[in-house]
Amino acid sequence: HTLSPPVYTKPTISLPVYTPPVYKPTLSPPVYTKPTIPPPVYTPPVYKPTPSHPVYKKSPSYSPPPPYVPKPTYTPSYSPPPPYVPKPTYAPPTKPYVPEILKAVDGIILCKIGYETYPILGAKIKIECTEPASYGESKKVVVIYSDPTNYKGYFYVSLNNIKDIAQCRVKVYTSPLETCKNPTNVNKGLTGVPLS
């Protein structure tokens, strides 16, 4: 077996590539800042109170609970409101008309001779009235005389000032006739005729 001679290969050498140097930037000097320290805040100390001695309460005596009583159920009773009744307008009652009562006494004075009678002109009568007295006083007697009678023997006497004419009596007082001067008790001419 024949050996071939060795083959030499020249190595390829690449050309050197120039790389420019990279300049680093100049670093500025560091700036130092002084830290701001807040002023100290004073906090007063909190004093804890001295614990007092414990108070021991007496245990309550046991009593049984009250018996259960159910509450009554309230049922409102509804009643309709009363009907509206307007209030009556008050008007004072009108007083009825009362006519003035005139109190008076009148009559005729006659003279009787036998069976004949005739009027006396100028005769007078007397009226006696008993007035009620005040407390502790006696009764008062009021005497009133009439005017002379007319030719008919008629007389008229007003008694408006007398309170109670039932307490009055009418009597014959005088007569101007000489033949007919003595009064008689005919028709109570002497004792008096009561006014009632």
pLDDT at 49 (0 to 100): 66
pTM of the complete model beyond 0.85: no
Pick from 23-27, 35-39, 85-89, 107-111: least confident:
23-27
- Does position 92 have pLDDT exceeding 90, yes or no? no
Closest residue by Cα to residue 110 from 61, 183, 54: 183
pLDDT tens-place string over residues 117-176: 999 999 999 999 998 777 767 788 899 999 999 999 999 999 998 888 889 999 999 999
For residue 129, tell me if it sits in a domain: yes
For residue 109, tell me if it sits in a domain: yes
For residue 108, tell me if it sits in a domain: yes
Closest residue by Cα to residue 189 from 121, 117, 124, 113: 124
In the chain, beta strands by DSSP E: 104-108, 110-113, 116-119, 124-131, 140-145, 154-158, 168-174, 193-194
3-state secondary structure of 131: strand
For residue 67, tell me if it sits in a domain: no
For residue 142, tell me if it sits in a domain: yes
Is 193 in contact with 169 (CB distance < 8 Å)?
A: yes
Is 162 in contact with 130 (CB distance < 8 Å)?
A: no
Domain that holds residue 156: 104-194
User: Total domain count for the chain?
Assistant: 1
Q: Mark residue 95 as left, alpha or beta (left: phi above 0; alpha: psi -120 to 50; beta: remaining).
A: beta
pLDDT at 81 (0 to 100): 80
Distances (CA, A) of 56 to 53, 59, 60, 61, 153: 9, 9, 12, 15, 126
- Where residue 59 falls among pLDDT bands split at 50, 70, 90? low
Round to whole Å and give the CA distance between 125 and 145. 6
pLDDT at 192 (0 to 100): 87
For residue 49, tell me if it sits in a domain: no
Is 186 in contact with 112 (CB distance < 8 Å)?
A: yes
> What average pLDDT does this structure show over 82-90?
79
